[in-house]
Amino acid sequence: QLQLQESGSGLVKPSQTLSLTCAVSGGSISSGDYSWSWIRQSPGKGLEWIGYIYRSGNTYYNPSLRGRVTVLVDRSKNQFSLRLSSVTAADTAVYYCARAGITMERGVLIEMNAFDIWGQGTMVTVSS
């Protein structure tokens, strides 16, 4: 059974870069038609989708994060990662990684399904 596990720094200073990794076990990140997303949850903003990457390496990010986000995949380690730069206190949240099935046409995502598998989440606090 596929499982996801987040890891990374739990405390980040303002203006620095938040870095998290999501390890995939019980299956290959490269098999099947799936997207791999980051989602965060804070008391003030609820659940917020951050961005995804899918098999071809294509990414899409939430415009609300104004170009601060990068999602990368490392197929050799069967994991994907999140980098969020220039963090502020507003980026304090529980960060989740999640999988969703997708439909692709000519290598482009045309349909996104539900987030069916989630990691357990990791708390990140932005503070000096």
**Residue 121 sits in the site that holds another protein (CB under 8 A):** yes
Among the listed ranges 12-20, 68-76, 78-86, 114-122, the one in contact with another protein (CB under 8 A) is: 114-122
Three-state SS string across the chain, please? CCEEEEEECCEECCCCCEEEEEEEECCCCCCCCEEEEEEEEECCCEEEEEEEEECCCCEEECHHHCCCEEEEEECCCCEEEEEECCCCHHHCEEEEEEEEEEEEECCEEEEEEEEEEECCCEEEEECC
**Residue 96 sits in the site that holds another protein (CB under 8 A):** yes
104 close to 85: Cβ distance less than 8 angstroms: no
Q: Which of 21, 33, 83, 100 binds another protein (CB under 8 A)?
A: 100
Contacts of another protein in 42-81 (CB under 8 A) = 46-49, 60, 62-64
* CB 88 to another protein: min, Å: 20
Among the listed ranges 16-24, 68-76, 78-86, 106-114, the one in contact with another protein (CB under 8 A) is: 106-114
Residues that bind another protein in the complex, under the rule CB under 8 A:
46-49, 60, 62-64, 96, 100, 112-116, 118-121
